[in-house]
Structure 1
């Protein structure tokens, strides 16, 4: 199916007029939860004349204590944006869009899904749910339940194109049933490719991470950072290793080499709970400080100093970010970070205070014992391309475009994008657009006409966060995704709806859309959410009987989702500013007869480490045609594609595009000045850009924000909407054989003056 792409919907023509604030009328300020990112900060929202006018930090919140970031403070702009959709949209024959009542849209979508399934089978329907789904706990779960009821396994998330190595590494290494160590009070910590001061990622607790880090460093923590850029986090480090990109596994192997060679391991812990140590020691033997220093282009003495610092001080773990997962060998990098912690015995022991106990999730017994390795790949659904299949991180998202394009049995013919924007976020944008245009049915569930929505058949307009109730249960669950993330204390908060949807709008909540489609298809839904370490403990499934769910509300759905929690939603509701609950538990001892052990010598991981050692890194460094290395970068002003078009946020950054950041000496060498137009080319494709200096980067390394740009044919407007970094990446080249993630950072590029479209 070929789509004519019309201009974006004229929001002022399609939407009801925005309500005007009456300055004389006093506003009402209430505590609530910002849900733009995983932190879920406790904030105060002020509503005046039915309009959200201000969001700021809540000083009465016991965890966040008044902290919030620019993204959270921009919530009123998001809610009241003139580009916001107040009515669902249907593509017309001429390619334009027109409003459609939500009930009619669901009727038509259900009819088309029914026909596609009848002709091509359940597997022809796929869902891709984005990071914004964290704000609406029922949406992604209900979408997955709908797919299951249809008989389709084709459920995709951003995880396999973000940090899939975390789950793969955990499956190869095993998990510690007492969880991880707390950041607070540790004497050292290692962050690899992480900038939590901006990104609110794992490692540093995200309740005001900059302040948390500042406090711990002032107390005496010795921070070690590995990053090609001198980031806001690296500036606080005792040791900042600033390598050439892509050498994260080399550096981690080098640290382990020094620790093993100098006998700095925890011998008692290894004897009691760890397998594979001899295999690991053999594989890291050749990663000497001299070899690592030459390969990563860092002083060898830094490797020695960092290894000694990490191994000889109390507490401290190692966390890796998105960049190392983007740069190839993400599974190995994450695995070596776990191995580093394990050989140093960095896991809670019996009698320690339980870190991250559940509140709205079921209580669990934290034990000082291993849950050994489990099958993390090579099972379940197989894709038709690149011999990829299901894994602990989910189905390989980077292959979904090919599953749409490849003709034949099993071809994906309908895609529902749930709070997601593949055209902005997926690698290989040119191929992604071809896939979106080929679909028989493309439905986007979104709050605006985002890039992907402009290619859709239907765009389902949804309520925004503060028009829905909120809770923090999903944040608790993050600890089952990776170590070093989630609330560091037994904290929980619930928020009722704060503001009504705009007058005259016709909006729906995400879960209500999938519920409505299921009713029309005559399907009952079962939402099963799996939480737990190791092999996962399955929470009781939430069964939605369509014959008895006419009066189901979001509040009622949340009650079902939280059934079996340590505390009920009612108990949490009693503390509108949130609460750190009195959960005084200590880690239990190992169960009698437990024989499970962590594994630091996993055979596939050791084989990959041997491949890394044998790789001719000198040949990669000497490419004259593409002499620069492009790495990823985060901003404090927006999250992926959400919020980057808001005027207030743009004013904070000063520009609507994503510049290419380059070291000033490299700019001078190329005869470039700040603000110059450039062409950025990889072996796969090319994009326009605007260059800006950044002396925090290594020489010959450039950085750029992702999720910018327009459609493929709109490159010439790069000064208005930026450029899509994903265009430079081939999805079917240099990809991980387990997760399918291609090389998305440490990409070889050239930069030249000017742009000719």
Structure 2
């Protein structure tokens, strides 16, 4: 069984390394904008908003605007999908079955639950997986590719439950049908160690200090220090504001505003700025205007702008988010400021300057 891989091949323009078959998003815009063989001319996005969530969002806007074709599977016309030639909306969360394969990784007990859809699927609507299958069939018809049969997600989950440690061969006999009789889920007891059997390293041990990472540490001794009057920008996320789509729901955006630039009072005073003032924040790639808030939670020399704001771009059609204040932190993050080893963008510690607007 494969244990994963790194740097087996590189991106076309900057030679960024792949990891598990994927490239860092810092390479996305340049792969669209740089002409030549292999240039990306089409894009599919799925429930994402990379204009607000990837470095140098303004550059990505330019890249998206120049594509020959773009399709988005999404419920919103947001800062990214407004560039799509075709938007395919799927059923909503309440019209889908759900089995948690992500957040159970953070569970403190071994639990399982299968949630059936609360609302029926509207006539003519498609689930996201049905849209994916339809696109794959259209691609296969055009290219002659042979597709493997696709099972509905509930059937795939059922096979997984039955074949797992708590399936048919155990006393629990887990299945989708069994979980239907336990709508609040089933507690399978305390967590059990299983990492050792799943490690695919040559020596069967966790590689806590790989040689390739240790060799890269020397680079930190040559990093430049901030110049005079420069601050370091870091991001932040709130419980009710983890991603941009959450700003289109009134219950999550009501109350105390959370879009401000946080700044230590000493940094405000040294720049003759005041709490609540509108300021300009600038970096190598651009500038945004935002309200500043004094905060002793911030270390002097560091400012913080939250993720996912900046909904004032033309063409966005969201009833609530479009009226929200704030600016996109990724209009300041620099696609050239990278972790050199992985090629991933450094979204924190971005040098910026702050002045009165």
Aligned residue for 2:270, secondary structure, equals helix
Q: Is the aligned partner of 1:514 residue 2:143?
A: no
Aligned residue in 1 for 2:115: 495
Write the mapping of 1:1-40 to structure 2, written as runs, cut at 5 A. none
Q: Is the aligned partner of 1:428 residue 2:56?
A: yes
Q: Residues 585 and 500 of structure 1: is their aligned pair in 2 closer, same or farther, counting only changes over 3 Å?
A: closer
Aligned residue in 2 for 1:636: 239
Match of 2:331 among 712, 727, 741: 727
Aligned residue in 2 for 1:611: 219
Aligned residue for 1:607, secondary structure, equals helix
* Alpha-carbon separation, structure 2, partners of 1:509 and 1:608: 45
Match of 2:309 among 703, 708, 712: 708
Q: Is the aligned partner of 1:739 residue 2:342?
A: yes
Greater radius of gyration (CA): 1
* Alpha-carbon separation, structure 2, partners of 1:515 and 1:723: 37
Write the mapping of 1:254-333 to structure 2, written as runs, cut at 5 A. none
| Contact 2:108–2:190 (CA under 8 A) maintained in structure 1 | no
Write the mapping of 1:505-584 to structure 2, written as runs, cut at 5 A. 506-520=124-138, 521-522=140-141, 524-526=146-148, 543-544=149-150, 553-559=152-158, 564-566=163-165, 567=167, 568-582=175-189
Measured against aligned partners, the alpha-carbon deviations of 1:313-339 in whole angstroms (never above 9, x if no partner) come to: xxxxxxxxxxxxxxxxxxxxxxxxxxx
Q: CA deviation at 1:639?
A: 2.0
* Alpha-carbon separation, structure 2, partners of 1:589 and 1:710: 46
Aligned residue for 2:79, secondary structure, equals coil
Aligned residue in 2 for 1:620: 225
Match of 1:674 among 275, 279, 282: 275
**TM-score, reference length from structure 2:** 0.83
* Alpha-carbon separation, structure 1, partners of 2:99 and 2:181: 13
Aligned residue in 1 for 2:76: 448
Match of 2:30 among 402, 407, 411: 402
Aligned residue for 2:44, secondary structure, equals strand
* Alpha-carbon separation, structure 2, partners of 1:710 and 1:450: 8
Aligned residue in 2 for 1:684: 285
- Structure 2: state its 5+ residue gaps: 168-174, 316-320
Q: CA deviation at 1:735?
A: 1.7
Q: CA deviation at 1:747?
A: 0.9
Aligned residue in 2 for 1:377: 6
Aligned residue for 1:463, secondary structure, equals coil
* Alpha-carbon separation, structure 2, partners of 1:584 and 1:694: 40
Q: CA deviation at 1:429?
A: 1.1
* Alpha-carbon separation, structure 2, partners of 1:696 and 1:519: 53
* Alpha-carbon separation, structure 1, partners of 2:48 and 2:347: 19
Aligned residue in 2 for 1:533: none
| Contact 1:688–1:718 (CA under 8 A) maintained in structure 2 | no
Q: CA deviation at 1:734?
A: 2.7
* Alpha-carbon separation, structure 1, partners of 2:102 and 2:57: 30
* Alpha-carbon separation, structure 1, partners of 2:187 and 2:271: 55
Q: Residues 393 and 560 of structure 1: is their aligned pair in 2 closer, same or farther, counting only changes over 3 Å?
A: same
Q: Residues 679 and 393 of structure 1: is their aligned pair in 2 closer, same or farther, counting only changes over 3 Å?
A: farther
| Contact 1:629–1:749 (CA under 8 A) maintained in structure 2 | yes
Residue correspondences, number: 336
Q: CA deviation at 1:524?
A: 4.7
| Contact 2:311–2:323 (CA under 8 A) maintained in structure 1 | no
**TM-score, reference length from structure 1:** 0.41
* Alpha-carbon separation, structure 2, partners of 1:391 and 1:491: 31
Measured against aligned partners, the alpha-carbon deviations of 1:496-536 in whole angstroms (never above 9, x if no partner) come to: 1112356xx7532111111112233335544xxxxxxxxxx
Q: Residues 393 and 673 of structure 1: is their aligned pair in 2 closer, same or farther, counting only changes over 3 Å?
A: farther
| Contact 1:494–1:573 (CA under 8 A) maintained in structure 2 | yes
Q: Residues 753 and 719 of structure 1: is their aligned pair in 2 closer, same or farther, counting only changes over 3 Å?
A: farther
Structure with a larger share of its residues in helix: 1
* Alpha-carbon separation, structure 2, partners of 1:629 and 1:584: 41
| Contact 2:79–2:313 (CA under 8 A) maintained in structure 1 | no
| Contact 2:50–2:80 (CA under 8 A) maintained in structure 1 | yes
Aligned residue in 1 for 2:171: none
Q: Residues 589 and 682 of structure 1: is their aligned pair in 2 closer, same or farther, counting only changes over 3 Å?
A: closer
Q: CA deviation at 1:713?
A: 7.0
Aligned residue for 1:680, secondary structure, equals strand
* Alpha-carbon separation, structure 1, partners of 2:193 and 2:277: 59
Measured against aligned partners, the alpha-carbon deviations of 1:461-489 in whole angstroms (never above 9, x if no partner) come to: 1211121111123445xxxxxxxx43232
Measured against aligned partners, the alpha-carbon deviations of 1:428-466 in whole angstroms (never above 9, x if no partner) come to: 112100111111111111111111111111111121112
* Alpha-carbon separation, structure 1, partners of 2:11 and 2:203: 36
- Structure 1: state its 5+ residue gaps: 1-373, 477-484, 527-542, 545-551
* Alpha-carbon separation, structure 2, partners of 1:653 and 1:385: 44
Aligned residue in 2 for 1:462: 90
Write the mapping of 1:321-360 to structure 2, written as runs, cut at 5 A. none
* Alpha-carbon separation, structure 2, partners of 1:632 and 1:498: 35
* Alpha-carbon separation, structure 1, partners of 2:244 and 2:87: 17
Aligned residue for 1:444, secondary structure, equals strand
* Alpha-carbon separation, structure 2, partners of 1:605 and 1:634: 28
Instruction: Please report the RMSD computed on the Cα atoms of aligned residues, expressed in angstroms.
Output: 3.2
| Contact 1:377–1:738 (CA under 8 A) maintained in structure 2 | no
